[in-house]
Amino acid sequence: MKSTLTLFILFIAIGISAQNYDKMLRKADNNFNRFVYEKALAKYIKLEEAGISRYYVTRRIADCYRLMYQPAPAVEWYKRGIAYPDVEAETYHYLALMLRILEQYSESEQYMQRYYTLTKTQGLQRGLSLEDYLALIRTDSIGVEIKNLGFNTECSEIAPTLFNDQLVFSSNRLGRTVIENKDARSNRTFFRLYTIPVNDMNNNIKAAPFQPQLKSKYNDGPVCFSPDGNTMYLTHNTTADAAGKSELDIVSSRRRGKKWDKVVASLPLKIKGYSIAHPSISSDDERLYFVSDIPGGYGGMDIYYSDRRNGFLSQPVNIGPHINTSGNELFPHITSDGRLFFASNGHSGLGGLDIFMALPVEQGFSAPINLGPGINTSYDDFSIVFNENGQSGYLASNRQGGKGEDDIYSFTFLRPLLFAQIDGLVINKATQQPEPDVQIIITKPDGTLVASFQSGTDGKFGIHLRDQQYKLTFRKRLMEPVERIINPTQVANFSKINLTVEMEAR
The residue ranges of every structural domain in the chain are 16-122, 144-413, 419-503
What is the structure's pLDDT at 16? 34
Burial 331-351 (b: 16+ CB within 10 A, else e): bbbbbeeebbbbbbbbbbbbb
Residue 184 has pLDDT above 70, yes or no: no
List the one residue out of 345, 450, 378, 371 whose CA is nearest residue 112: 345
pLDDT at 174 over 80: no
Distance, in Å, from the CA atom of 266 to the CA atom of 255, rounded to the nearest integer, reads: 16
Distance CA 157, CA 195 (A): 11
C-alpha 168/C-alpha 161 separation (Å) is: 5
CA distance 108 to 47: 29
What is the separation of C-alpha 14 from the centre of its chain, rounded to a whole number of angstroms? Answer: 46
87-119, pLDDT tens digit by residue?
A: 998 899 889 888 988 888 889 888 888 887 787
Look at residue 9 and tell me whether its pLDDT is greater than 70.
no
Mean pLDDT of the chain: 85
Q: What is the rounded CA–CA span in Å between residue 421 and residue 361?
A: 9
- DSSP per-residue string spanning 465-495: EESS-EEEEEE-TTB--EEEEE-GGG--TTE
Confidence at residue 5, expressed as pLDDT on a 0 to 100 scale = 38
DSSP class per residue in 431-445 = T--B--S-EEEEE-T
Average pLDDT rounded to a whole number, residues 495-500? 85
Residue 4: what pLDDT? 40
**Share of residues in the chain with pLDDT > 70 (%):** 87
Least confident of 4-13, 70-79, 352-361, 399-408: 4-13
Give the pLDDT confidence score for residue 159 in this predicted structure.
Answer: 96
What pLDDT, in 10s, does the model give residues 286-340? 999 999 999 888 878 999 999 998 888 999 999 998 899 878 999 999 999 899 9
Q: Is the pLDDT of residue 130 over 70?
A: no
Report the share of the chain in percent with pLDDT over 90: 49
Asked if residue 210 lies in contact with residue 197, where contact means CB atoms within 8 angstroms, the answer is: no
**Is the CB of residue 270 less than 8 Å from the CB of residue 276?**
yes
The Cα–Cα gap between 446 and 103 comes to 25
Nearest one of 360, 336, 341, 394 to 150, comparing CA atoms: 394
Tell me which range, 215-219, 375-379, 426-430, is most confidently predicted by mean pLDDT: 426-430
Q: What is the pLDDT of residue 288?
A: 97
pLDDT digits (tens, 9 = 90+) for 245-279: 678 999 999 998 888 998 788 999 988 888 999 99
Residue 439 pLDDT > 60: yes
Query: For domain 16-122, is the CATH number 1.10.240.10?
Result: no
Selected residue with higher pLDDT from 133 and 4: 133
* Residue 342 near residue 355, CB atoms below 8 Å: yes
Q: Are 420 and 497 in contact (CB under 8 A)?
A: yes
> What pTM was computed for the model?
0.78
Yes or no: say if 25 and 9 are a contact pair by the CB < 8 Å rule: no
Element (H, E) at 44: helix 37-49
pLDDT interval class at 450 (50, 70, 90):
confident
Rounded CA-CA distance 212/192 in Å is 8
3-state secondary structure 246-291: CCEEEEEEEEECCEECCCCEECCCCCCCCCEEEEEECCCCCEEEEE
CA distance 138 to 144: 12
Q: Residue 122 pLDDT more than 80? A: no
Mean pLDDT to the nearest integer, 141-146: 84
Render pLDDT for 404-437 as a digit per residue (tens, 0 to 9): 899 999 999 988 878 888 889 999 999 999 999 9
Residues 119, 365: Cα–Cα separation, whole Å: 24
Q: Give the other-Cβ count within 10 Å of 417's Cβ.
A: 16
pLDDT category at 181 given cuts 50, 70, 90 is: low
Alpha-carbon 2 to chain mean position: 64
- Alpha-carbon distance values, 361 to 257, 317, 417, 422 (Å): 38, 17, 16, 12
What is the per-residue pLDDT for 121?
62
144-413 topology per CATH: Neuraminidase (2.120.10)
Q: Of the ranges 37-51, 97-111, 275-289, 358-372, which is most confident? A: 275-289
Provide the pLDDT for residue 176.
Answer: 56
Distance CA 313, CA 484 (A): 47
Does the pLDDT value for residue 346 go beyond 90? no
CATH fold label, 419-503: Immunoglobulin-like (2.60.40)
If you ran DSSP here, which 8-state letter would residue 213 be given? G
Contacts of 69 (CB under 8 A, 6+ apart): 398
Q: What is the Rg, in whole angstroms, of the alpha carbon atoms belonging to the chain?
A: 26
